[in-house]
């Protein structure tokens, strides 16, 4: 077990954001949480990262985590190389490896604002993975990207995880994305977020829309979200 | 090229207008000196070494007053910007003192520091301290929280967060504030040197006024303006530092 939540709840003052979530994530799993906008998905990730403490319940986490944000998680005053080096504890050999793995070597001395949105997310991914932490938390990491870049980034994420496995909790509001890359999908209710449904997906990540079980899974999630 | 040529052209036009007006007798005698008289005053002041000595005296006072203000104001601004309670306690007072004209401090400067450089340095210090602190506090308060969450993930804490996250994150705004503040410091030096000192460009102007040497007054004014442009250009270069430039290019 990598991560376990027991009746976790969180309130922002009088506002109940998350309520009684029970969840278990196994080592190496890629769990995707989907839910309507503003349901508390990012708050859930902040709880998993330890940036917030639950108001109720308990979170058990084995090992450390890194979070990848939608946009703006990179330090704009550092170059690509320096940002990744922060994650890699300044191990220059490891930084070089990650630059190569994510095809960023020729942009190593660029600053984040000089990169495209997709490239910035690749740097975020490199920085998070270079840390060799066990748990990767991804907060709608590709939602600010255009459709084609988003698809390419999903593919790259799956390929990178195949090479360097990690446990991933991935938050999105995109049903297609959830079904395409997840091992398991957790459907959250509108605020306060609770687990409305857990859905195991067929083996193999980066599924094509025509792959067995994909359309059915999308249909089930859509119904659960009341769309 | 237009950035160099255009100001030169407008400068020459202004000079020509001034010259023509003087030659045509547009100014009552003794009120506005003509360009040739000012040029002669420049030659005289350069030849006797007074202009150079006064310039260095002013720069020395500005440098000290400004540097001490920066050293104290930036950490103060960081603390005020990052801690809500400190902000609540200090921000209104920083604003209060920022609103006071530095000239209002002149009586205290003389009583506390006597004569010589210290009172002038104090006036420059007080004119820039609260301004820089306020800018640093505003910038620190608006650093995106995601930077701190990333720092927490990376295991950074305490001083490392201040030096490796907050300070670099506010650098673009801080550089702009420092640029504005050096302009203020240089502007205030004239007022500061009108008290208790017998050197500097401010003193040169006061002394020339007492002797009804308007040519020397203009000579001092032109020198102050030219150095002001130089200082501003110097500080504008800070914005070109790669780790600062991001704030101006996004």
Domain boundaries, chain A: 3-64+134-224, 73-133
Report the top-level CATH class of B33-249: mainly alpha
Model confidence at B250, pLDDT cuts 50, 70, 90, reads low
Res A56: pLDDT: 94
Cβ-nearest to A49 among B153, B242, B243:
B153
Contact A124, A73 (CB under 8 A): yes
In angstroms, rounded to a whole number, what is the distance separating the alpha carbons of residues B26 and A150?
Answer: 72
Res A206: pLDDT: 84
State pLDDT tens for residues A149-178. 888 888 888 988 888 889 999 999 899 999
> DSSP assignment, residue A193?
B
Largest CA distance in chain A: 50
**Pairing mode, strands A65-68 and A15-25:** unpaired
CATH of domain A3-64+134-224: 3.40.50.300
Cβ-nearest to A75 among B147, B149, B247:
B147
Residues of B in contact with A72 (CB under 8 A): 144, 146
Contact A36, A185 (CB under 8 A): no
- Residues of chain A whose C-beta is under 8 A from some C-beta in B? 46, 49-51, 64-67, 69, 72-73, 75-78, 86-87, 111-113, 131
Can you read off the two tokens belonging to residue B235? 């500080």
State pLDDT tens for residues B121-151. 999 999 999 999 999 999 999 999 999 999 9
Structure ipTM: 0.84
In angstroms, rounded to a whole number, what is the distance separating the alpha carbons of residues B206 and B226?
Answer: 19
Of A202-216, B112-126, B145-159, B218-232, the range with the lowest mean pLDDT is: A202-216
State pLDDT tens for residues B49-86. 999 999 999 999 999 999 999 999 999 999 999 999 99
Q: Is the pTM of this model over 0.90?
A: no
């Amino acid at each position: 077990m990598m991560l376990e939540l027991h009746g976790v709840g969180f309130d922002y003052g009088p506002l109940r954001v998350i309520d009684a979530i029970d969840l278990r994530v196994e080592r190496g799993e890629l769990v995707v949480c989907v839910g309507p906008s503003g349901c508390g998905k990012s708050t859930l990730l902040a709880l998993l990262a330890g940036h917030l403490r639950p108001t109720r319940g308990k979170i058990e986490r084995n090992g450390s985590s890194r979070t990848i944000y939608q946009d703006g998680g990179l330090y704009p005053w550092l170059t690509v190389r320096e940002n990744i080096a922060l994650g890699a504890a300044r191990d220059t050999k490891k930084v070089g490896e990650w630059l190569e793995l994510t095809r960023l070597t020729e942009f190593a001395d660029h600053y984040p604002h000089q990169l495209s949105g997709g490239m910035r997310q690749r740097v975020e991914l490199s920085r998070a993975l270079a840390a060799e932490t066990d748990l990767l938390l991804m907060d709608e990491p590709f939602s600010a990207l255009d459709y084609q870049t988003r698809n390419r980034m999903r593919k790259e994420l799956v390929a990178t995880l195949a090479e360097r496995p990690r446990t991933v909790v991935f938050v999105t509001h995109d049903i297609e994305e959830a079904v395409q890359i997840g091992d398991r999908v957790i459907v959250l209710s509108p605020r306060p977020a609770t687990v409305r449904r857990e859905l195991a997906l067929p083996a193999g990540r980066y599924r094509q829309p025509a792959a067995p079980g994909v359309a059915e899974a999308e249909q089930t999630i859509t119904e659960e979200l009341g769309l | 090229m237009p950035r160099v040529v255009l100001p030169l052209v407008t400068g020459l036009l202004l000079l020509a207008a001034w010259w023509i007006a003087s030659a045509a007798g547009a100014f009552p005698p003794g009120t506005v000196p003509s360009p040739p008289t000012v040029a002669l005053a420049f030659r005289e002041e350069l030849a006797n070494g007074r202009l150079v000595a006064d310039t260095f005296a002013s720069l020395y006072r500005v440098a000290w007053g400004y540097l001490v203000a920066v050293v104290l104001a930036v950490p103060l601004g960081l603390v005020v910007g990052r801690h809500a309670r400190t902000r609540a306690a200090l921000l209104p007072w920083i604003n209060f003192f920022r609103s006071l004209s530095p000239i209002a401090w002149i009586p205290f400067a003389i009583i506390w520091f006597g004569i010589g450089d210290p009172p002038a340095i104090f006036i420059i210090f007080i004119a820039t301290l609260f301004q820089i602190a306020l800018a640093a506090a505003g910038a620190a308060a608006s650093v995106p929280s995601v930077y701190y969450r990333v720092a927490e993930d990376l295991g950074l804490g305490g001083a490392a967060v201040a030096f490796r996250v907050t300070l670099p994150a506010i650098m673009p705004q801080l550089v702009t504030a420092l640029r504005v503040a050096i302009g203020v410091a240089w502007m205030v030096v004239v007022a500061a040197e009108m008290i208790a000192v017998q050197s500097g460009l401010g003193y040169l102007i006061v002394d020339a006024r007492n002797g009804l040497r308007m040519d020397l007054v203009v000579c001092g004014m032109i020198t102050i303006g030219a150095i002001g442009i130089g200082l501003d250009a110097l500080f504008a270069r800070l914005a070109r530092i790669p780790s600062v430039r991001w704030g101006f290019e996004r």
